[in-house]
Structure 1
Amino acid sequence: MKVDLGDLNAFVVVARARSFRDGARLSGRGASSLSDAVRRLEEQLGVRLLNRTTRSVVPTEAGEGLLARLGPALSEMEAALDVVNGFRGKPAGTLRLNVPVSASRLVLPAILPPFLAAYPDIRVEVISEDSFVDVIEAGCDAGIRYDERLEQDMVAVPIGPRVQRFATAASPAYLARHGRPEHPRELLQHACLRGRFSSGAMTHWEFERDGERVRVDPTGPLIVGLGGGADLAVDVALAGTGIVSLFEDWLRPYLKSGALEPVLEPWWQSFSGPFLYYPGRRLVPAPLRAFIDFIKQAPDGANPKSPASPSPKAP
C-alpha cells in the first residue's frame, strides 16, 4: 500500500495537537488542508484514525497505535534529511525544545538571545510544561529537565546554573502579623502557599542545615499548579497572605527590592542544575548540534560566546 508521506505527517501533527486548528498553527498548514489529508489517509487505510467533535480531536485506538509507531519514524526521517544541513555554512531549520516553566523563565533567557543572534537561520520553538514527556513522541528535538528525571537512554548536557536553591519567603506585613519561623517544623503553624504537580501529587517542602534534613507538608489557603501557577503564588505572597516556596532565582527580584523577605534562609536546600537531554539512539539535527556546541561554551548559561565555526558533530 502506497501512502502519501504528507498525509501521514498531517495525521501526526493533528493527533499530537489534539486539534486541527492547533495543528495548523504548529505546522504552518491550513486547518482544511490537514482535514483533507487525514480524511484521505483514513479512506486509504479503511479505518477511522481520529474521533472528531466540535471541541476536540482524539485518536481512536487504531490512531493511537499508528501514532506510537509513526511519530518516531517520521522524526528519524526528518533528522536524516537534516544531515544536509551539515554541509551549509550556517545551520538552518527549527529547534524544538520541551522545557519546564522554570527553565523557560530562569535558564533560557540568558541563552536564547545570543544563540539566535549567532544563528539567524535557526528558529527555536519552546514548549513549556512540567510533566515529563517523551521528546520524540512530543515532536521535539530535545528537552530540559533535572537529573533525577532523566531516562537512561538519553544523552545529557549541562545547561544553565549548576547549583540552584529553593527559597521560602513572605512579605514584611505577613511576618509582622504572624512572626518569623526559626525551624522548618514551625511552618506547620503558618499559612503556606502550596504547589501541585500535574500528576496531582502535592509538593513537599524540604530543608537542610548542618547535616539535618527536614521535610514538612504544610497547609495553607492556596494551592497552584506548578509552573504556570507560580506567579500567582508569588503575587499572593506579595499581598501578605502567606509564605511561598520557589526557586531562589525566581524570587530574587522581590527579595532584592524588599517586597519579600527570606524565611529560614540558613535551611534553604541546594540542588544540581538542569540538563539539556536528547535521545542517543537517533541522528542529531543540525540546529540541535549547534545549540549543544553553543551551551557547552558557557555551562553556567551566562552570556555564552558564539562559536567561530559550529562543530558538525554532537557529543
Structure 2
Amino acid sequence: MRKPNLTDVSIFAAVVEAGGFRAAAQKRGLSASSLSDCMRRLESDLGVRLLNRTTRSVTPTAAGERLLERLRPALQEIDAAFNDLDDDAQRPVGTLKLNVPVPVARFLLPDLLARFLRLYPGISVEVVMDNTFVDVNAGGYDAGVRYEESLAKDMIAVPIGPRRQRFVAAAAPRYLAERGTPTHPEELPGHDLLGHRFESGKVGVFEFHRDGRVVRIPPQGQLLTSSHDLKIRSAINGLGIVYTFEDFLREPLSDGRLVPILEDWWQAFDGPFLYYHGRRHMPSPLRAFVDFLRAEGQIAESSGVFGAVS
C-alpha cells in the first residue's frame, strides 16, 4: 500500500458527504471527472475499493465507511488549522455545520442566524434537521442543538434561545363542544389524543406537571404521526387534542382555531443548548457563533429571555 495523497483523502470525504461526484465538484469548483480520477488513484494507492458507484448514487463501501469514521475528526482539525491561518478575530471565514431538531430550525434559528450572518459575512451556515441525538463529530457537524436530557457529559454545552419552554395542550372549539373540555389530565383517556411517533419509533406520552405531581397519559386516538404539521392541522380540523411545543401552537391559539386546555398542568422545561466536542483548534465559524451566543445571552439576560451563558 502506497502512502495516499492528502488531497485525495479530503476529496473522498467530500464525495461521500455530498452524495456524489457532481455535487462535490460543484462545492469544490472542480470537474466531476477530476474528482473521479482522484478517487481511482486513492483506491489504487490503498488497494481497497472505497465507493460503490451506480448511475444513480455513490455510497461508501463498508471499508470506506470505516475509514471515513476515523478520518472525519482529523480532517476537521486540518480545516480548523487552515481557517485559523487566514482568519482574524474580526473576520472569521468558513462554513458552520449544525444539526438541530425541527422546532429549533423552525422557530429559533431564522431570527438568530439573520443577526449572526449579518455580523459575519465571511461565514456560511449549513443546517440539517434531525430530532434524534447525533455524535456531531462522527456526523461531520461542527455542533448540534439539543435539550439537556440528551447531552452527553463530555460535551461543551452553551445555552441558545429562551431558557424556559412549555408543552401546550389544545383542541378546536368544535371538538370541545362535541366531546367536552377536560379539567384534569386523568380525564384524557376518554378523549382522542393526537399522538407523535419519533424517528426512534417511540411514541410520545402526554406528560403533565403540577405541584410536584406528574401525570403521564399514552395517546389514544385515530391519528399517530411523525409530522408536527399534520398533527396540528388535524387538531384544528377537530380530530382530537394536541400536546406539543408552545411555538407550534402560538398562531392557531392566537386566532382562535385552537383553545388552550389544562393550562395549570402544562409541562415546562429548560430551553435548548448548543453542544460540541472540546477541541484544541475550534473552527473559526463555530468560535464566532459561540461568542455571538454569549453576547446575545448577556444582552438579553436582563430582560429574562436568556439565561447566563457560561
Q: TM-score, normalised by structure 2?
A: 0.89
C-alpha change, 1:43 and 1:127, in structure 2 (3 Å) is same
C-alpha distance in 2 between matches for 1:36 and 1:244: 54
C-alpha distance in 1 between matches for 2:186 and 2:79: 53
Shift of 1:74: 0.4
Q: In structure 2, the residue corresponding to 1:2 is in which secondary structure?
A: coil
Partner of 2:291: 293
Q: In structure 2, the residue corresponding to 1:176 is in which secondary structure?
A: helix
C-alpha distance in 1 between matches for 2:7 and 2:200: 35
Deviates more, 1:129-138 or 1:66-75: 129-138
* Kept after mapping to 2: 8 A contact 1:161/1:300: no
C-alpha distance in 2 between matches for 1:240 and 1:21: 47
- Give 5+ residue unaligned stretches, structure 1: 304-314
Establish whether residue 254 from structure 1 lines up as the match of residue 274 from structure 2.
no
User: Where has structure 1 moved over 6 Å in runs of 4 or more?
Assistant: 300-303
Q: Which amino acid aligns with 1:101?
A: V
C-alpha distance in 1 between matches for 2:29 and 2:183: 55
Give CA deviations for 1:253-298 in whole Å, capped at 9, x if unaligned. Answer: 1111111111211110000001111111342111111111111122
Q: Which amino acid aligns with 1:143?
A: G
Partner of 1:115: 116
Partner of 1:178: 179
Q: Which amino acid aligns with 1:145?
A: R
Shift of 1:33: 4.3
* Kept after mapping to 1: 8 A contact 2:197/2:225: yes
Listed as ranges, the matches of 1:227-306 within 5 Å are 229-299=227-297
Q: In structure 2, the residue corresponding to 1:156 is in which secondary structure?
A: strand
* Kept after mapping to 1: 8 A contact 2:209/2:215: yes
C-alpha change, 1:88 and 1:146, in structure 2 (3 Å) is closer
Partner of 2:225: 224
Give CA deviations for 1:45-78 in whole Å, capped at 9, x if unaligned. Answer: 1111122344444322211220111111101111
Q: Which amino acid aligns with 1:39?
A: R
Shift of 1:37: 2.9
* Kept after mapping to 2: 8 A contact 1:159/1:300: no
Q: In structure 1, the residue corresponding to 2:85 is in which secondary structure?
A: helix
Give CA deviations for 1:175-203 in whole Å, capped at 9, x if unaligned. Answer: 11111112223222222221111111111
Shift of 1:44: 2.1
* Kept after mapping to 2: 8 A contact 1:111/1:302: no
Q: In structure 1, the residue corresponding to 2:269 is in which secondary structure?
A: strand
Shift of 1:22: 5.3
Q: In structure 1, the residue corresponding to 2:296 is in which secondary structure?
A: coil
Shift of 1:30: 5.1
Q: TM-score, normalised by structure 1?
A: 0.88
* Kept after mapping to 2: 8 A contact 1:16/1:138: no
Shift of 1:82: 1.6
* Kept after mapping to 1: 8 A contact 2:165/2:246: yes
Listed as ranges, the matches of 1:32-181 within 5 Å are 32-87=33-88, 89-181=90-182
* Kept after mapping to 1: 8 A contact 2:21/2:35: yes
Shift of 1:39: 2.6
C-alpha distance in 2 between matches for 1:243 and 1:30: 54
Q: In structure 2, the residue corresponding to 1:192 is in which secondary structure?
A: coil
Partner of 1:308: none
C-alpha distance in 1 between matches for 2:27 and 2:200: 26
Identical pairs, percent: 53
Shift of 1:204: 1.2
Deviates more, 1:60-69 or 1:88-97: 88-97
Q: In structure 1, the residue corresponding to 2:91 is in which secondary structure?
A: coil
C-alpha distance in 2 between matches for 1:302 and 1:236: 36
Q: Which amino acid aligns with 1:246?
A: T
Q: In structure 1, the residue corresponding to 2:276 is in which secondary structure?
A: strand
C-alpha change, 1:99 and 1:24, in structure 2 (3 Å) is farther
* Kept after mapping to 2: 8 A contact 1:161/1:301: no
Partner of 1:204: 205
